[in-house]
A and B are shown apart, each in its own frame.
Chain A
Amino acid sequence: MIDAYGSLYWFYVLTLISVPAVVLGLLEKPLRAYSRIATVVMVVLIVGFSTGQWWWLLGFLAFELTLVKGWLRYRTGHENVNPWVARVAAAGATLPLVVIKVGNLFPTLSVGFLGISYLSFRVIQVVLEITDGLITVLPLADLTFFVLFFPTLASGPIDRLRRFQQDADRTWTRDEYVYLLGRGLTMLLMGGVYKFVLAAWFTTQLDWAVGWPATLAYMYLYTGRLFFDFAGYSAMAVGASYVFGIRTPPNFRLPFAAESIKDFWTRWHISLSFWFRDYLYTRLAMFLMRTKAFKGHRTAAGRVALALNMGLMGAWHGFQLHYLLYGLYHGLLLVGNDVYEKKSRLYSYRHHLAYRLVAIAVTFQLVVFGFLLFSGHILAI
């Protein structure tokens, strides 16, 4: 078992496995077949045979792939499907994740495997797009490759099947591949600096001390470490994907320059936040807007959906209280953000420089407090 993007051994293996991809890319040959072989090899190395994780992974794959193929067959055979049948299919795809998250509440059980949450999100997305009739053909090998694609196996970013397949099936010209390779290597290097220099520095400064001044310091240092560690990992995952010809979408876009909480969620852990927006929030809001209780109150329905959406986003990190609080906190902030934008006259000054600077500072404070909740530290005081 090797620590993806976390050990020298990993980078050694990544370099070795990338060489044939680079050669194929420069020779304008398809990367498709080789990327699949590399993914199988790397998944075996990342998960490792010796651990129980291996069996969880195989069980997960057998269950989800059967479900997706079964659902695709049913859906393509029926012009209109009962919405409840579609909901059962989506719930089925979510089931392994829920079982494992519940199991994680009992540390002695050691259930699940690395990356389960991210893999689940890829599968659920496929199920919902099959429901919507957007995916009608999906060979098992393509689906498996998308779910397991090794550069993003451990912690995302979460790509979209239809986008991923366009890249995966494409043969790049030399000029295109040279650009991808250059960008990939730059991202790998930048991510390395983020994770091994900056995040490492924040980690040395972190002190799990209690009391308010110490907690305040902890809040900022924890935020620094969280950002550089995860943004660093994400940049490296995107970089490695580019080497294999897949333009995995970025996860961060200057999150601390956000001018509102709403803006923050288009810049922080973007692939997760957009996943929730596109596959959960929109559906939930549309469903609520049509219920009797919210008839004529579409804005209210949308806000309730927003709070629920963020609550579930918190729960996705784990069912522990501090994650639930974090989700709830951001749900309430987003609702507040929406009320503010629609009601406050101050919002009309949003293009002025002074307003923007204050907005960035206020947003930053709200965000770091959220991470203090997320860290669980505040509950330990």
Chain B
Amino acid sequence: MDEAQEQEVLRLLIDVCGTDAIDSERDVDLFEAGLLDSLGVTQLLVSFEDDLGIKVPPTAVERDEISTVNRILTFVAERL
């Protein structure tokens, strides 16, 4: 994943979570912090597919895989 793609994922995340504080707190559990929920996950999956071309069936995503910013970046990098 190159710099531009990483920025794109971060932009999507900030949009979904509604705060840019996540950029500096990349290991915070987003679900526990109340920043990410089912609606947010769905928005992310649609964005991944439409903006990054990563198609992931919703049932194939475990919450543990996408619970922090760093994990989401890994998740995306593995599928690009």
> Measuring CB to CB, which residues of chain A are less than 8 angstroms from any residue of chain B?
128-129, 131-134, 262, 277-279, 281-283, 285-286, 289-290, 298-299, 302-303, 305-306, 338, 341-342, 347, 350
Interface digits, B33-50 against A, CB 8 Å rule (1 contact, 0 not)? 010011101110110000
Of residues 32 to 80 in B, which have CB atoms within 8 Å of A's CB atoms?
34, 37-39, 41-43, 45-46, 57-60
Q: Which residues of A contact B18 (CB under 8 A)?
A: 342
A128 pairs with B59, CB closer than 8 A:
yes
> Measuring CB to CB, which residues of chain B are less than 8 angstroms from any residue of chain A?
18, 34, 37-39, 41-43, 45-46, 57-60
B58 pairs with A303, CB closer than 8 A:
no
A298 pairs with B45, CB closer than 8 A:
no
For residue A282, give the distance in angstroms from its CB to the closest CB of chain B: 4
For residue A115, give the distance in angstroms from its CB to the closest CB of chain B: 23
A286 pairs with B39, CB closer than 8 A:
no
The docked-state distance in angstroms from the alpha carbon of A356 to that of B59 is 32
For residue A127, give the distance in angstroms from its CB to the closest CB of chain B: 11
* A259 (CB) vs chain B CBs: closest residue: B34
- Main SS of chain B's interface residues? helix
Q: Which residues of A contact B60 (CB under 8 A)?
A: 132, 134
B34 pairs with A286, CB closer than 8 A:
no
A289 pairs with B43, CB closer than 8 A:
yes
A282 pairs with B42, CB closer than 8 A:
yes
A338 pairs with B59, CB closer than 8 A:
no
4 tightest A-B contacts by CB? A132-B57, A302-B39, A282-B58, A285-B42
For residue B43, give the distance in angstroms from its CB to the closest CB of chain A: 5
The docked-state distance in angstroms from the alpha carbon of A303 to that of B39 is 8
Q: Which residues of B contact A262 (CB under 8 A)?
A: 37
A277 in contact with B38 given A286-B46, A290-B46, A342-B18 (CB within 8 Å): yes
- Interface core residue of B18, B45, B57, B59 (most chain A CB under 10 Å): B59
A338 pairs with B45, CB closer than 8 A:
no
* A341 (CB) vs chain B CBs: closest residue: B34
B57 pairs with A302, CB closer than 8 A:
no
The docked-state distance in angstroms from the alpha carbon of A379 to that of B53 is 50
A299 pairs with B34, CB closer than 8 A:
no
**Contacting residue for A298 out of B34, B46, B58, CB 8 A:** B46
Q: Which residues of A contact B45 (CB under 8 A)?
A: 282, 286
Q: Which residues of B contact A282 (CB under 8 A)?
A: 38, 41-42, 45, 58
The docked-state distance in angstroms from the alpha carbon of A348 to that of B62 is 28
* B39 (CB) vs chain A CBs: closest residue: A302
